[in-house]
Structure 1
């Protein structure tokens, strides 16, 4: 049975007993999400004021925290967000609604998410400010879309628990959906990961990690 755990920043994460890992960092769930994915990923892409639209692909949608923070940021900054999550084992809405993440985003974002979450697993749902959410409930290697993305949030469980998610085959598959110049971010940084991403034609950056990790990986797809 999955159990909620309060992390160091006061926000909750969920423990997955079958995998033996938490969905988010125990050093701070919201803190990690804001730093790794929103800050180093989406905000980095949106650094130019001229960019008013962004498309994000998330591998490992989980609790929806990365989406919520991204959607909230985009609404506040008048950016239209097209968000696609991939999640083989989607959490039920009963668990999602107990995360307490409504404390970290606007009321409109939270309620739009709760009301559209189940339907988003069947087709893309439009919510505030013309942004959209689609959650693809499939194994990552079975994921297929005609879309191409500006930013890729790679938020799979750690390689020690799910090595297949970090294989060269998986990375090649998901990175194929990034646009030239697109940004890949993840909380981890290993020799294997750097070599695999370099082999796929990405420029590698070691950037400061979230609390509990000294560094993380950001990689930009060559044009």
Structure 2
């Protein structure tokens, strides 16, 4: 898919996909959206010191980078699995301004998130290990993680753009793949998504959204 780099309202980059007429992040602010939806509502809601984390949609690597920076401060350890069907090119990744805005000294680590091989565990830091799987997350039948997940970042494109990624079967599978007490967060607060998460077995709550979005969802097993 063709991507166009754009600047969001908080100064951070996102990608626009003309084919889908869709942005990878909120145009109101990519960094502030990711911090609000995935770290504050998701990662910080998990009390474990060693966390097995699943991300649906590696995208620009922003969620992974923010998570890495966060746990370097907290001292937690994360094994981070990310599923992405259409990887962003390394050339595009070199242009993203996330490290420049957040911590220029961490630019090399951000680029390692993109340059490390797919399909293998890679230690980006002693506390952050990454495994990127290039696969279609709409079919999790062959996905066999080493251990159940404690945190799930559900960051797929919107339901109206990629409906195959928002089905009852997927949320049922994610429920099965998660530990008791696991936390799933998503920017999408549509009623149909909330009901599917509930039908899968999660306890679901609406939370205030980031700028430009009224609500988000947090689901707990």
Q: TM-score range with shorter-chain normalisation?
A: over 0.9
The yes-or-no answer on 1:72 pairing with 2:69 is yes
1:108 CA displacement:
5.7
1:33 CA displacement:
0.3
| C-alpha contact (below 8 Å) 1:109/1:128 kept by paired residues | no
In the TM superposition, what whole-angstrom CA distance separates every residue of 1:38-87 from its partner, at most 9, and x where no partner exists?
110001114xxxx3222210001100100000110000111111111000
For 1:44, the equivalent position in structure 2 comes to: 45
For 2:135, the equivalent position in structure 1 comes to: 138
**Matched residue of 1:127: which SS?**
strand
For 2:177, the equivalent position in structure 1 comes to: 177
Name the CA distance, whole Å, in 1 between partners of 2:190 and 2:4: 29
For 2:206, the equivalent position in structure 1 comes to: 206
**Matched residue of 1:24: which SS?**
coil
For 2:189, the equivalent position in structure 1 comes to: 189
| C-alpha contact (below 8 Å) 1:68/1:110 kept by paired residues | no
Larger deviation, residues 139-148 vs 18-27: 139-148
1:115 CA displacement:
2.8
Gapped regions of structure 1 (runs ≥ 5): none
**Matched residue of 1:150: which SS?**
strand
**Matched residue of 2:179: which SS?**
strand
Name the CA distance, whole Å, in 2 between partners of 1:181 and 1:129: 26
Moved runs in structure 1, 4+ residues, more than 4 A?
none
In the TM superposition, what whole-angstrom CA distance separates every residue of 1:94-137 from its partner, at most 9, and x where no partner exists?
11121111124445643123135333413010022332011110
Gapped regions of structure 2 (runs ≥ 5): none
For 2:78, the equivalent position in structure 1 comes to: 81
For 2:155, the equivalent position in structure 1 comes to: 155
| C-alpha contact (below 8 Å) 1:71/1:109 kept by paired residues | no
Distance change (3 Å), C-alpha of 1:8 and 1:113:
closer
**Matched residue of 2:180: which SS?**
strand
RMSD: 1.5
Larger deviation, residues 186-195 vs 107-116: 107-116
Name the CA distance, whole Å, in 2 between partners of 1:212 and 1:9: 12
| C-alpha contact (below 8 Å) 2:55/2:152 kept by paired residues | yes
Counting matched residue pairs gives 217
